[in-house]
Amino acid sequence: MKVFIISLGSVDSVVLKNLAEDLEKVLKIDVTILGSITLSEEAYSLEREQYSGDFILKYLSRIILLENGKLLGVTEEDLYAKGLNFIFGIAQISERNAVISLNRLKDKIRERALKEAVHELGHTFGLLHCENKSCVMSFSNNLDEVDAKSSDFCSEHNFLR
């Protein structure tokens, strides 16, 4: 099992490199940065001036990987999902694809991006949301909640050890 990172549109290469390095440490899984693809304009909502997370997941699922692994899209564009003003990321539960947005992470981007990436990848490994606010699988609605959680799983979710 590996994690592949793909950038959707242009993404700061230092941020990607740090994310790959940090994800390897937390998940104890090999992480490879694949490169960049253009963000499909079909995913863009003119009305909301944001990209649809669900559409991006569909788009990612069409990408063929030659090795068994999870695919994490990273974008600097702002994302939304139905019923939510914005999302930090979204994933397919127990499937392959996940996406995170760096758009609202501002400073502390390294640790915040790591938390959101671990969270979304946790969903692809079948994990659901956790009530424990310090667990990386707790749902974050704003940056305070992102900052309140750690980048690691609580003992209940610690499937990697």
Residues of this chain that bind Zn ion (CB under 5 A)? 130, 132, 135, 137, 154, 156-157
Angle of the 13-27 helix axis to the 109-124 helix axis, nearest 10: 50
120 is catalytic: yes
| Nearest by Cα to 101 from 115, 116, 111 | 116
Give me the least distance between CB of 145 and Zn ion, in Å please: 11
Q: Is 110 helix (H, G, I), strand (E, B) or coil?
A: helix
- Side by side, which strands form the sheet with 44-45? 44-45, 50-52, 79-81, 84-87
Residue whose CB is less far from Zn ion, 110 or 157: 157
Give me the least distance between CB of 33 and Zn ion, in Å please: 23
By the 8 A CB rule, do 11 and 102 touch? yes
- The catalytic residue among 120, 131, 145, 156 is 120
Residue whose CB is less far from Zn ion, 25 or 129: 129
Give me the least distance between CB of 46 and Zn ion, in Å please: 27
Residue whose CB is less far from Zn ion, 50 or 138: 138
The residues annotated with a catalytic role in the active site are: 120
